[in-house]
Structure 1
């Protein structure tokens, strides 16, 4: 018969508390990443532009003409073409990965409270990408309607932008976004007419005819390159000029 020392050496006797310690280690939750923690405490990311908003609220009218509300495409636009924004009195309020519901929550502090002459709303691609759950076209449309209504109720001219093309999402393949983008854009165009707001239609300058981005205009099939933004800008500036002419 093996003694206690031999049994321990052979692994036949459990060390008191060892199994419990191993089990506790196995089920211990991982610490949330900074992004996960932020989503829990500030889901719409109200703090992203809080400091800038505090400064920009006091800008003279010529430097606060249009706020750009959007996601990574808008955020990347300001990063790639800062002169466009600085020279034309444009303020970028894009946040990477955001869906229209998040933008609606922050629409007051990031747009209305700044009292711009106009707002450019480019939103919806991340709804289609299911960044915050299954895509519900009616919910996305309602969020765009709410932002438009908030702006108009506060004397801010609205420029609704068509969603930029996407044949596939690199971070979530298999969703078949092209048809969904076309359907949402058809609704945006009709709603712009219904509400009497300007439309910035980027489809003709970006779409390759099959629902994707033209070669060289996006670095991942979704996010524009500098060349992509360059072909968008004449459409943008024309829409801004028409919107401001109505103010």
Structure 2
């Protein structure tokens, strides 16, 4: 029988593991709701696997290795983010990514700290002309622990600096509006999202990045998302992505023009 103290320690550590920010997220991780005596070896192995690959580098490792070279005349663009990016759909599907040089590298639930760790593998190594970075909402939700605005900005600044050092043009996207997180009751994120977006917009201007303003086009009076755009208040519906798509396309076109000019 597994040692109860070891199980309890694993459960305590797993509190720092990111909560999956899925289309219909549970109120809490079911592993954390079980009494210690009901945790079985398979569940312990699941927690150990999650802790062993905190940034989830395995998620796209094989897909990265199999990714063909960019097609001539179709510059590669990597969309890098969390579940909101992942929700666009897989590369080569009949979604927004179909028939384009776009590569989806979003992972549900991730924070900017995790994304920074995998930035070289999932962005730099793919040699894109442009990266579209959308991140920060899961930091505000506290998915991997408390994160101040300064911490979020630092992680995003580091991604931008690494991209620019490798000749990749950056589209920096605003955090989408949100007034409540279903998986983190009690958090009032609307003001934090507005403050972060204000800082990121200023940074984008200073660094001559393309600013992709999803927020202004989607926010309601409460600083959140209407149900038509996101049924759970966080993850875009088809209508939400339809509103985002032309904004993303325009930002990418601007970034590609800058990349071509070397600016």
Q: Shorter-chain TM-score category?
A: 0.7 to 0.9
Q: TM-score, normalised by structure 1?
A: 0.85
- Unaligned ranges ≥5, structure 1: 1-20
Which protein has the larger Cα radius of gyration, Structure 1 or Structure 2?
Answer: 1
Provide the residue aligned with 2:197 in structure 1. Answer: 185
After the TM superposition, which of the residue ranges 65-74 and 78-87 deviates more from structure 2?
78-87
Question: SS in structure 1 opposite 2:184?
Answer: coil
Q: TM-score, normalised by structure 2?
A: 0.80
> CA, structure 1 residues 25+189, in 2 after alignment: closer, same or farther (shift >3 Å)?
closer
Matches within 5 A, 1:49-60: 49-56=60-67, 58-60=69-71
Instruction: Number of aligned residue pairs: give it.
Output: 225
Pairing 1:163–2:178 present: no
Structure 1 residue 205: Cα displacement: 1.8
Pairing 1:96–2:108 present: yes
Structure 1 residue runs of 4 or more that deviate by more than 6 Å after TM superposition? none
**Which protein, 1 or 2, shows the higher relative CO under an 8 Å CA cutoff with sep ≥ 6?**
2
Distance 2:86 2:243 in 1: 17
- Unaligned ranges ≥5, structure 2: 8-38
> CA, structure 1 residues 67+26, in 2 after alignment: closer, same or farther (shift >3 Å)?
closer
Pairing 1:216–2:236 present: no
Matches within 5 A, 1:206-245: 206-245=218-257
> CA, structure 1 residues 214+159, in 2 after alignment: closer, same or farther (shift >3 Å)?
same
